[in-house]
Amino acid sequence: MKHTPGPWKVSNSLRHIGKRSVQSIVGDCDGVTSVVVCDMPLEYEPTHAAYPKMMADAYLISCAPDLLSALKAIMDDNADRCGDDGNYFLGYHENICIYCQARAAIAKAEGK
């Protein structure tokens, strides 16, 4: 399984599907044509307090190929590492070391 090639970006303009406005994340299809990777329905007006969080989600999604590529490169150099000395336990899963979290994130991103 291979995702739409990067780079992905948050579209500069809104799309309209029926009466809804959506913020699209677009990827690179062939170097010329952008393809829609995902559409985020605009639940909020730009003045709503939740709007910045929605846009932050859009930017996070748009850098997924970059994050995956970088994480895979890091893990290529650390394939056998595990933070079993206790110094590498961070983030959402405090009981799982960052190397094991990275391996799990790569597997999740690759649908494994």
Contacting residues toward Zn ion, per CB under 5 A: 82, 97, 99-100
Residue closer to Zn ion by CB (options 18, 91) is 91
Residue closer to Zn ion by CB (options 24, 103) is 103
Q: What is the DSSP string of 54-69?
A: HHHHHHHHHTHHHHHH
Shortest CB 70 distance to Zn ion, Å: 19
Residue closer to Zn ion by CB (options 40, 109) is 109
Of 52, 70, 63, give the one whose Cα is nearest residue 10. 63
- Separation CA 64–CA 102 (nearest Å): 14
- What are the strands, taking DSSP E only, across the chain? 9-10, 15-17, 20-28, 34-41
Shortest CB 83 distance to Zn ion, Å: 5
Residue closer to Zn ion by CB (options 30, 85) is 85
Residue 56: Cβ within 10 Å count: 10
Shortest CB 51 distance to Zn ion, Å: 38
Shortest CB 106 distance to Zn ion, Å: 13
